Amino acid sequence: MNRAVLALEDGSVFEGRSFGARAERAGEVVFNTAMTGYQEVFTDPSYAGQIVILTNPQIGNYGTSAEDNESARPYIEGLVVREFSPVASNWRSDELASAFLEKHEIPVVSEIDTRALVRHLRTRGVMRGVLSAVEGDTQKLVEKARGIPTMSGLDLASRVSTPAQYEWTRGVDPCSPSELIPRVPEPRYHVVAYDYGIKQNILRRLAQVGCRTTVVPSLTSAEDVLALKPDGVFLSNGPGDPEPLQTQVANIRKLVGKVPIFGICLGHQLLGLALGGKTYKLKFGHRGANHPVLNKVTQRVEITSHNHGFAVDRDSLNPSDVDLTHVNLNDETLEGFRHRRYPVFCVQYHPEAAPGPHDSHYLFDDFVNLMADH
């Protein structure tokens, strides 16, 4: 039986069975608590630079399907699971999960006590690690883990962004055949979406509410964006620390007040920085599909999908400029705000949620209404 080793920077070592590629990869070790959607996790660019632990006990049991990818390739550095299924039972599956990851040179370690590992990270905080299916010397792996860059100060958004501008032309194809798609209106608004690591279901949702979307690289200037004559600008999700992204923040600052803006995840954090706020790193982040968020405007609780390791400091935002609209009920972190004078709003979580709850789909309608009003 092939073995694989996960070594953490604090000297902790977890040994298990190897699946996926016979390779060695390094990154920040994080965990996701979602019950389903492992393929979407694999292909979410927000996981660039991270080894992901999935807490659901069995992974791989429904295989993979090309229709479920959130980007052109997987972005995780490695995968840690309790049990990795060698077979798949799903009429939509076109490839085993192990073959999918092996093809992209991503190692997997299974038969790990993921409960103990997650409790360790919750107590001490996420940390750097190395996952290896080729090296058996655990001390060497621990030393390698201590030598890789920390996530703080790391610009990953520029690395995963599209190299060239493009139009989203795939329309509103559902993210699964069972999804009920209402009648889609004719495109009424032109949205320019900054790609900091954008997920495809965001583009589907924009098309579903009647938007024609142009996706642009993360470093596109505000002047070039305005030259496209957008009705609105969308700021996408993405990986890494928001604070090094000074060029992106400067461009957002130039757009505020000139065009309606909607941001999510990293886009939310960059918007907070553009408005004079500060961000900070969370101890172990929010990654899962059932985080409760209070909408302070409606006083309703939304169950939401999350994937982020940084947050906006709510006390750093000027209350005369912004209204705090959403708050996380688990730890009171800021989940959303709106500008008091300009057509600008954002949330930390993922309202497109593929997979995940649909409680927050209304935010895309709010964006359309904002464009209609301006």
Active site residue 352: yes
How far is 342 from 150, CA to CA, in rounded Å? 36
265 assigned to active site: yes
Look up tokens 């996408």; give the residue.
Answer: 236
Strand order in the sheet with 322-328: 166-167, 211-217, 189-195, 232-235, 261-264, 344-347, 334-339, 322-328, 279-295, 300-312
3-class SS of residue 39:
helix
- Kindly give, in sequence order, each residue whose CB lies less than 8 Å from that of residue 81, ignoring residues fewer than 6 positions away: 53, 54, 58, 59, 60, 108, 109, 110, 112, 114
* Other residues' Cβ atoms within 10 Å of the Cβ of residue 289: 23
Report the alpha-carbon distance of residue 180 to residue 146 in Å, rounded. 48
The two three-digit tokens of residue 159, written as one number: 């690395």
Q: Is 211 a catalytic residue?
A: no
Q: For residue 163, what are its two tokens? A: 């190299």
User: Using CA atoms, how far apart are residues 370 and 161, in angstroms rounded to an integer?
Assistant: 26
Q: Is the separation of the CB atoms in 206 and 364 below 8 Å?
A: yes
Q: Choose, from 111, 265, 268, 335, the residue flagged as catalytic.
A: 265
25 is written with which tokens? 């990869």
User: Active site residue: 28, 40, 77, 352, which one?
Assistant: 352
Looking at 106-178, list the stretches that DSSP marks H as alpha helix, in order from N- to C-terminal side.
114-124, 138-147, 157-160
CA 39 to CA 351: how far, in whole Å? 18
Cβ-in-10-Å burial (0-12, 13-18, 19+) of 303 comes to middle
| Catalytic positions | 265, 350, 352
